[in-house]
Structure 1
Amino acid sequence: MTTQTERPQFNAPVRKIREVDYGFFGPDSPTWRVWTAPTAVLGFQRSVTLEHFDPDLTAAVADVGGIYSDPRGRLDHTFAYFLIAAVGDSRMAVESAEHLMKVHAKATGIEPITGKRYSANNPDSQLWIHVTGWHSVLKCYEMFGPGPLSPAEERRYWAECVVAAELQTCKPSDVPTSRAEVREYFAAVRPRLCSSERAHRAMHYLLHTPMEKGVRLWGGSRLIAPAVIATLPKWMRETGGFDQPGLVDAGIRPAAKLAIAALGGDSAKLRTLRSAIGPMTARLYREHLEAGIPENPVTVTPAEARARYGSAGRRASRSA
């Protein structure tokens, strides 16, 4: 079992975010637009909160303890990985994914409710993280940002969601490919989702981080929390213990839209990411803005990227 002195941590590679190619999606993709919008901060906070409905992930988070000792660092590293997968080049994405799976390989132990062994790399848990992440970021983009994608863009967005899932242990055939399939997925997994004392503590700690962890994180979490809760369906609120009056829901939506509109400029987005998330994510977003045409201005598949830049591909090249 991991301990608090063995906290696994994702670190972005030293190289720039987009050097060798356009990654998996490219500049015209809805993935680039949705994941680099200021609403992604809200969607990300929503997804890391909902992560704790999976009892195995709750056990992993609680045993590692990183969100309590360094909540800002944990949020920063996690968002950085999502951003790399969305807009990074294929080399950085594959290297980051392999590193993250090594990190997750250390997060194993016993889930106390069932008494069964958990692994952070379990495909079902990774699928829950992936779907809630992509769904949450799109939902907040629609509610607080520009609004819904066109039907063609939405079809492409969910197709790209399947592609990104190939970077982790998810089975691509299990990944929803439409809004309707997302609803079916939530209905199918709901019986195994739950909230325990440890899950409740983690979710509410992330939404209302104590001041002792820094004034910016304390204030930022409290500004974001009402908007995040306003996006949740009734059953998620009941399971997670999120009590928010309907009047707050009604009032926060236009207020959040105005706040997001005020962050339309790139410099404002950078300041928000640095303040609300952390320096690694802000660095990667700045590199995304400044990146020129990559060495090979095309998109590739995760399989092609692994063959070129993955550890197995490198071993094959050395033995050839």
Structure 2
Amino acid sequence: MTTAGDLGLFGPDSVTWKVHEELIVTLGGLRSLYLQALHPRAVAAIAQNSGYRSDPWGRLERTSDYVGTVLYGSTDEVERAASRIRRLHARMTATDPRTGETFRVDEPELLLWVHVAEVESFLTTARRAGLELTDDEVDRYYAEQVRAAELVGLDPSMVPATAAEVAGYYEAMRPQLGLTKDSAETALFLTVPPVPQSWGSRSLRLGLTLGPTRWAYLGIASTAFGLLPPWARKMYGGPGWQTTDMTADLSVRGLRLLMKGALAAMPQRYRVAPMRRQALERAGLS
């Protein structure tokens, strides 16, 4: 049961709500998937257990629902969603393609990699798109997100809680990362996703595959890839040039302005996501 005033993990005074009010943060989710795929075990676990190839848009919707619940759900809603995720992960195993070893997908090291790649991508995308945050707010965001890490079963003491700790974590992880067959296939899938058979007629699907929509999405995916750290782009065989960073910054800032303009043109009731609107109502801020 949802209780009025129950704001769950965060609330209107949190940096988390400030960051995720930005629609451009959704691009950070795509960036995080490119980054997560560079961990050989993490991407093997996804490839062997996820239905993202057969139902990519359904998986995206389920993931978005979970993230939205963690951000804006009541305490009970958050715990129920997290409990489902923990039970699901506890049943899954995968095989390391390099060693043949079978491992659990809820190993703390894997959960931590996915968590850090995700929250760092959200924050970095928002800042490079133009959201102004102080250094203190950046550290507060990471500290707030430790609560989200606990939900999936992580010990909070092992989760980076400041920008410096996140940078140190990446530095320590880089020797374990690299391009594998799974990561290359995942990156290609993220860049050129299929159009579902259920999406209208054959001519419409062909138009989405070859027409302006495809080229627009390719530009979005290219921006997400360009926002990766230079060392991550190099692992994919891409450039680590500073000019690539500058181009990605200009692109993501332009996308943010386009999104803001599109939202402003919409009726008021569509400008705020339903989960966020419900959370604002519980906070008495509707």
TM-score by length of 1: 0.74
8 A contact 1:127–1:175 mirrored in 2: yes
Partner deviation per Cα, 1:173-199 (whole Å, 9 max, x = no partner): 111111111111011122222221111
CA distances 1:12-59 after superposition (whole Å, capped 9, x unpaired): xxx88x866101111111101212311211111011221112222211
* Matched residue, 2:147: 163
- The one-letter code matched in structure 1 to 2:91 is K
Seen in structure 2, the aligned counterparts of structure 1 residues 234 and 88 have a Cα distance that, compared at 3 Å, is same
Q: Once the 2 structures are TM-superposed, how far is the Cα of residue 64 of structure 1 from its aligned partner?
A: 2.6
Shift of 1:172: 0.9
Aligned to 2:201: none
Alignment-derived partner of residue 318 in structure 1: none
Query: Partner letter of residue 204 of structure 1?
Result: L
TM-score (norm 2): 0.82
CA shift in 2, pair 1:251/1:58, >3 Å: closer
* Pair 1:204 & 2:188 matched: yes
- From the superposition, tell whether residues 269 and 95 of structure 1 become closer, same or farther in structure 2 (CA, over 3 Å): farther
Name the Cα RMSD after superposition: 3.0
Separation in 2 of the partners of 1:269 and 1:133?
A: 30
In the alignment, does 2:24 pair up with 1:39?
A: yes
- Partner of 2:146, secondary structure, is helix
% identical equivalent positions = 30
Q: In structure 2, do the counterparts of structure 1 residues 269 and 26 end up closer, same or farther at CA, with 3 Å as the change threshold? A: farther
Contact 1:158 1:176 in 2 (8 A): yes
- Residue 305 of structure 1 corresponds to none
> Within 5 A, what are the aligned runs for 1:1-320?
21-147=6-132, 149-211=133-195, 215=208, 218-219=214-215, 221-242=217-238, 249-264=245-260, 267=263, 285-294=273-282
Matched position secondary structure for 1:24: coil
Gaps of 5+ in 1: 1-14, 272-281, 298-320
Q: 1:237 to 1:92 in 2, by over 3 A?
A: same
Give the 3 Å change call, closer, same or farther, for CA 68–116 of structure 1 in structure 2: same
Kindly provide the amino acid, as one letter, of the partner of residue 239 in structure 1. M
| Higher mean displacement: 42-51 or 77-86 | 77-86
Unaligned runs of 5+ in 2: 198-204
Instruction: Please tell me whether the aligned partners of residues 56 and 119 of structure 1 are also in contact (alpha carbons under 8 angstroms).
Output: no
Count of aligned pairs between the two proteins: 270
One-letter amino acid of the counterpart of residue 76, structure 1: E
Deviates more, 1:92-101 or 1:55-64: 55-64
| Counterpart Cα distance in 2 of 1:139 and 1:43 | 8
Contact 1:38/1:269 (<8 A) preserved:
no
